[in-house]
């Protein structure tokens, strides 16, 4: 018993490292934290049985299966997947299997509790209950015929190599010829309550009881006790992976057996709790287990990362510098001082300013030529230690180092110590040696004005010194300096770190510019830049180092990136086992055995590559739900949706748990858009889709770019709306034709009516124009007041008559008539009276002459008459007498009679003139003579007169 306790103490305290785990509980939807069993189905879903409900995990959320989903009893004791892919659950109240999205109860021939269930390759079910085992043979219709085949105190039950193996009454048995036969006691297995049995990938048989662990190695004749170092448990659980590792539950944590090595992970080193229950290694080789009362936990990564924090012995969790020595000891510089760990990770010694360290913030560590170490601190100082971690001497400002901190240290080929800092670059004046006291000189670099920041220094194989500074990349070959800047291809001069490897010099930048590679030798002058677009997880690169396999490791503010063979190999962050994502400057070291050490602001992590390859599995993609407006659809359904329900909400998941938060998705909806859409979301909503046939497809993509081999798909059809149906469209076409005909007919009628209207309007307009023309002519040729031809028309008529008279030489008479005393009437009675006289005069004249004669008003009180029918003087004079007589009675106006007379001048064609001018002049002279003679009379030209 004492030996057991010592073994447990050695197991528990042999190393202080921790691993990282993610805990799953109520936040993720796992509402019950007492996990009883875990299984992964062929699709990739993780199933978790608890004291109150069965849960299915898809990498994002847990979906519960309880009473509402058909489980008569929700205390889940065991889970198994049949060869046909159906999930079965053993519960406190019996047996159930999944059908669609609901569980149905299965009668296994025994009422009450089912403690567990397993299947053989032929699909035969074996159900364990408290007093026996019931065997169920599947029928063609999918039903099972159960029958009890073993009775007694049954403990473990499993199928190994196709055979049923179980614990019975303290022994381990297997079925042979329908009868149980012992395979335990006969080969050295003591009688015990064997609750778990497992056959590992190497062919070794393991048996676990609450207090003991035994192994029957392949090819060996007897079981061997492997209980040393394995704590007790209340319920024995075992799980073996494909690499020969065996995972053992216990009350004190998780036990991992790898060959002869036994390790324990407990709550003091990262485990969410100590009491570990059921375990599972999934297809990505992530380790899952239940922790009593703490829910479900998953180890981040595959065990290649272990970590240390202040809780594990570091002086501070912010780690700035790491170095491993030839003995495997680890020198760790933190914000609290220097810690030295032995090869097993146990703290050996710590140094701070209180016990002689130059400063409490350790920024750099470099080995000396004699197995010793130099440690750079802030405030500025360098402490010298021997190989056993004993402090020998400390150098500060009094030694010539005047920077604010020792950011980076280096011992060059001449064994002189270089110190980099903010504000200066310093070098020891003499070579390092036993018993020598060092002094330092500031190194003046041509082309680099002071003050400058010198951040990182390395030594290449040729002995040249390379420095990353705020003024560019510097190289010292022992004689002269060369400065590399923008002309050599650098994106900026302010550098953070430098590394040498693969025939190139690599630099990172103080600002977020990523990293650059400057070729050397045959590749001299060739510059390659790397940023997030080329695969970096961040453009903030703090430190760089090559491991023993030639892989380039980068510290960033988003974790660690690894470059292998020119491509980004893998990214490590807190989701894959790194203690913290925000790494620190120069806190990156590769040990002689090939381990990679990374310092972060949350602790220190060590990467040790597994002895076996870690599978890179493309994430399977599944549709977790498809909801329409009125119902939810199964993924295999092909619904035809009415137009009124043309919206769908589809949820999907990538069943990759290792990178569950980094999985991306690409989806498309064939029939709507052939292009793939990329998203981090796990759902998509299609609203108001048009009628048609659609196929939704989605694939999952892991951080390495691997995507699901087969898309998850859902096919559906949306019926056209009633107004889009053929009969409606045909009816609309017929109606449109009819309406078109009616419209055409009405249009023709309207056109004809319009034509008629237009013709009437044209006719009316023509008449109006004619009338307007007539009115214009009347205005142009007639006197407005008397309606007699005016002077213009009289002149034209005169000219026409004169032309006609010339041909047969027909005589006619021209009378010029002027009213006597007309001005006196205007002045006495007004213009209205004058107008009345003029109008009456025109009436009198028209009444006296014939219609063929022409009477005109020439203007004012002057009138003219062309007598075409009077060809002799007697007739002319007769007309003149009638004119004079017509004025004898006066002209009535209002209440009076106006006394008016007239004078007439007569000229005869051709006697008195043969032209219009001469004839008119003759008549005018005669008129003048009539007025001169006494008025109210007529006169002939050449002074012929008459009364």
Per-residue pLDDT of 45-91, as tens digits, reads 999 999 999 999 999 999 999 999 999 999 999 999 999 999 999 99
State pLDDT tens for residues 245-291: 999 999 999 999 998 899 999 998 889 999 999 999 999 999 999 99
| pLDDT reported for residue 16 | 60
Structural domain boundaries, residue 166: 156-302
Residue 672: CATH number of its domain: 2.60.40.10
CA torsion angle for 713, 715, 716, 717 (degrees, to 10)? 130
> Do 23 and 289 meet the contact criterion of CB atoms below 8 Å apart?
no
Residue 526 covered by a domain: no
Are 28 and 58 in contact by the 8 Å Cβ rule? The answer is no
Shared domain check, 190 and 100: no
Quick one: pLDDT band at residue 92, thresholds 50, 70, 90?
A: very high
* Mean pLDDT score, 891-904: 89
Among the candidates 100, 124, 152, a domain finishes at 152
Residue 181 pLDDT exceeds 80? yes
CB 276 within 8 A of CB 295: no
Chosen domain end from 255, 283, 302: 302
Q: Are 147 and 179 part of one and the same domain? A: no
Encode burial over 454-476: b for 16+ CB neighbours within 10 A, e otherwise.
bbbbbbeeeebbbbbbbbbbbbb
Report, as an integer, the average pLDDT of 469-481: 95
Verify that 936 and 799 share a domain, yes or no: yes
Which stretches of 414-566 are assigned E, i.e. beta strand?
417-421, 424-428, 440-442, 454-459, 465-469, 472-476, 481-484, 495-501, 504-509, 515-519, 527-530, 541-546, 552-556, 559-564
Do 906 and 799 share a domain, yes or no? yes
Low-confidence winner among 491-505, 578-592, 744-758 (lowest mean pLDDT):
744-758
Instruction: Identify the pLDDT of residue 2.
Output: 40
Same domain, 109 and 162: no
Q: Is residue 180 part of a domain?
A: yes
Residue 5 tokens, joined: 């306790």
Label residue 807 by pLDDT band (50, 70, 90).
low
CATH number for the domain that contains residue 832: 3.30.70.270
CATH number for the domain that contains residue 141: 2.130.10.10
Regarding whether 170 and 209 lie in a shared domain, the answer is: yes
What one-character DSSP code corresponds to residue 679?
Answer: E
Tell me the average pLDDT of the chain: 90
Looking at per-residue pLDDT, the higher value among 724 and 607 belongs to: 607
Q: What is the pTM of this model?
A: 0.74
Catalytic site residues? Answer: 861
Give tens-digit pLDDT for 761-788: 888 888 887 877 777 676 777 888 888 9
Specify if 714 maps to a domain. Answer: yes
**pLDDT level of residue 4 (50, 70, 90 thresholds):** very low
Question: Is the residue at 113 inside a domain?
Answer: yes
Q: What is the pLDDT of residues 445-465, one digit of tens each?
A: 988 887 789 999 999 999 999
Q: Which of 692, 724, 756 is the last residue of a domain?
A: 724
The mean pLDDT value for 798-810 works out to: 77
Looking at the structure, do residues 720 and 662 belong to the same domain, yes or no?
yes
Residue 719 has pLDDT above 80, yes or no: yes
Regarding whether 218 and 142 lie in a shared domain, the answer is: no
pLDDT at 449: 80
Dist. CA 386–CA 381, nearest whole Å:
17
- Tell me the pLDDT band of 528, cut-offs 50, 70 and 90: very high
Helix (H, G, I), strand (E, B) or coil at 683: strand
641 and 682 co-located in one domain: yes
**3-state secondary structure (DSSP) of residue 59:** coil
Q: What pLDDT does 460 receive?
A: 94
Whether 317 is covered by a domain: the verdict is no
For 422-445, how does the pLDDT look when each residue is reduced to its tens digit (9 = 90+)? 989 999 999 998 778 999 999 999
Residue 450 falls within a domain, yes or no? no
Report which secondary-structure segment, H or E, holds 845.
helix 831-848
The token duo for 731 is 């009816």
Nearest-10 Cα torsion for 531, 537, 541, 542: 180
Do 684 and 818 sit in the same domain of this protein? no
What tokens were used for 204? 């070794």
Same domain? For 116 and 176 the reply is: no
Per the structure, the count of domains in the chain is: 4
Give the residue from 622, 800, 628, 786 showing the smallest Cα distance to 708: 622
Are 190 and 236 in the same domain? yes
Residue 449 is assigned to a structural domain of this protein: no
Q: Establish if 644 belongs to a structural domain.
A: yes
């Amino acid at each position: 018993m004492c030996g057991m306790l010592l073994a447990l103490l050695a197991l528990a305290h042999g190393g202080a490292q921790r691993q990282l785990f993610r805990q799953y509980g109520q936040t993720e939807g796992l509402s019950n934290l007492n996990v009883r069993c875990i299984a992964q189905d062929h699709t990739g879903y993780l199933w978790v049985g608890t004291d109150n409900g069965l849960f299915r995990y898809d990498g994002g959320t847990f979906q519960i299966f309880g009473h509402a989903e058909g489980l008569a009893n929700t205390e889940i004791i065991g889970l198994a997947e049949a060869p046909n892919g159906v999930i079965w659950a053993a519960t406190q109240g019996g047996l159930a299997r999944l059908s669609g999205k609901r569980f149905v109860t299965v009668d296994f021939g025994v009422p009450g509790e089912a403690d567990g269930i397993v299947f053989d390759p032929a699909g035969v079910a074996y159900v364990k209950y408290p007093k026996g085992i019931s065997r169920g043979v599947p029928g063609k219709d999918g039903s099972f015929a159960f029958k009890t085949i073993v009775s007694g105190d049954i403990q473990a039950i499993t199928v190994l190599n196709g055979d049923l193996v179980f614990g019975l009454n303290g022994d381990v048995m297997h079925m042979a010829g329908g009868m149980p036969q012992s395979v335990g006691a006969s080969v050295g297995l003591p009688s015990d309550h064997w609750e778990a049995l497992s056959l590992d990938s190497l062919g070794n048989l393991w048996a676990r009881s609450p207090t003991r662990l035994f192994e029957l190695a392949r090819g060996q004749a007897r079981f061997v006790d492997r209980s040393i170092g394995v704590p007790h448990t209340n319920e024995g659980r075992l799980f073996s992976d494909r690499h020969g590792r065996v995972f053992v539950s216990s009350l004190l944590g998780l036990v991992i057996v790898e060959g002869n090595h036994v390790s324990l992970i407990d709550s003091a080193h990262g485990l969410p709790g100590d009491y570990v229950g059921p375990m599972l290694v999934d297809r990505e080789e992530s380790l899952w287990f239940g922790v009593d009362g703490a829910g479900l936990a998953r180890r981040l990564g595959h065990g290649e990362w272990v970590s240390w924090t202040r809780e594990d012995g570091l002086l501070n969790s912010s780690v700035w510098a790491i170095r491993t020595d030839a003995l495997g000891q680890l020198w760790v510089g933190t914000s609290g001082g220097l810690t030295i760990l032995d090869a097993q990770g146990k703290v050996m010694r710590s140094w701070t300013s209180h016990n002689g360290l130059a400063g409490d913030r350790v920024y750099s560590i470099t080995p000396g030529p004699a197995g010793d170490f130099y440690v750079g601190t802030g405030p500025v100082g360098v402490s010298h230690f021997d190989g056993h971690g004993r402090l020998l001497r400390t150098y500060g400002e009094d030694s010539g180092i005047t920077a604010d901190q020792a950011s980076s240290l280096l011992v060059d080929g001449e064994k002189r110590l270089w110190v980099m800092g903010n504000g200066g670059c310093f070098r020891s004046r003499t070579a390092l040696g036993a018993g020598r006291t060092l002094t330092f000189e500031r190194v003046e670099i041509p082309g680099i004005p002071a003050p400058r920041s010198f951040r990182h220094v390395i030594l290449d194989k040729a002995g040249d010194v390379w420095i990353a500074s705020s003024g560019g990349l510097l190289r010292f070959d022992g004689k002269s300096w060369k400065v590399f800047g923008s002309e050599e291809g650098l994106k900026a001069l302010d550098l953070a770190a430098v590394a040498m490897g693969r025939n190139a010099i690599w630099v990172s930048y103080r600002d977020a510019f990523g990293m650059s590679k400057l070729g050397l030798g045959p590749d001299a002058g060739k510059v390659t830049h790397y940023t997030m677009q080329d695969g970096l997880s961040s453009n903030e690169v703090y430190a760089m180092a090559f491991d023993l396999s030639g892989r380039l490791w980068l510290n960033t503010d988003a974790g660690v990136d690894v470059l292998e063979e020119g491509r980004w190999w893998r990214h490590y962050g807190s989701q894959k086992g790194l203690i913290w994502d925000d790494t620190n400057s120069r806190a990156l070291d590769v040990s002689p055995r090939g381990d990679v050490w990374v310092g972060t602001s949350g602790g220190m992590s060590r990467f040790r590559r597994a002895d076996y390859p870690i599978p890179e599995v493309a994430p399977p993609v599944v549709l977790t739900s498809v909801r329409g407006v009125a119902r939810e659809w199964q993924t295999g359904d092909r619904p035809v949706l009415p137009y009124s329900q043309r919206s769908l909400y589809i949820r999907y998941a990538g069943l990759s748990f290792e990178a569950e938060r980094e999985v991306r998705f690409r989806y498309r909806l064939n029939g709507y858009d052939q292009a793939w859409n990329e998203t981090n979301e796990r759902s998509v909503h299609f609203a108001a889709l048009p009628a048609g046939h659609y196929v939704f497809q989605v694939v999952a993509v892991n951080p390495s770019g691997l995507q699901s081999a087969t898309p998850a798909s859902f096919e559906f059809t949306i019926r056209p709306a009633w107004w889009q149906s053929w009969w409606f469209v045909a009816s609309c076409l017929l109606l449109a034709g009819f309406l078109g005909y009616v419209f055409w007919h009405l249009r023709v009628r309207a056109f004809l009516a319009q034509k008629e209207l237009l013709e009437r309007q044209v006719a009316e307009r023509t008449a109006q124009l004619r009338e307007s023309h007539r009115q214009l002519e009347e205005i142009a040729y007639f006197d407005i007041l008397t309606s007699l031809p005016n002077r213009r028309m009289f002149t034209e008529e005169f000219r026409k008559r004169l032309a006609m008279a010339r041909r047969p030489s027909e005589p006619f008479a021209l009378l010029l008539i002027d009213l006597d005393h007309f001005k006196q009437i205007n002045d006495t009675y007004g213009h209205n009276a004058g107008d009345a006289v003029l109008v009456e005069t025109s009436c009198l004249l028209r009444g006296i002459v014939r219609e063929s004669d022409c009477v005109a008003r020439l203007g004012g009180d002057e009138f003219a008459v062309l007598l075409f029918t009077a060809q002799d003087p007697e007739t002319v004079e007769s007309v003149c007498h009638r004119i004079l007589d017509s004025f004898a009675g006066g002209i009535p106006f209002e209440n009076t009679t106006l006394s008016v007379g007239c004078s007439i001048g007569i000229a005869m064609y051709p006697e008195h003139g043969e032209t219009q001018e001469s004839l008119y002049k003759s008549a005018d002279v005669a008129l003048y003579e009539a007025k001169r003679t006494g008025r109210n009379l007529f006169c002939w030209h050449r002074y012929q007169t008459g009364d």
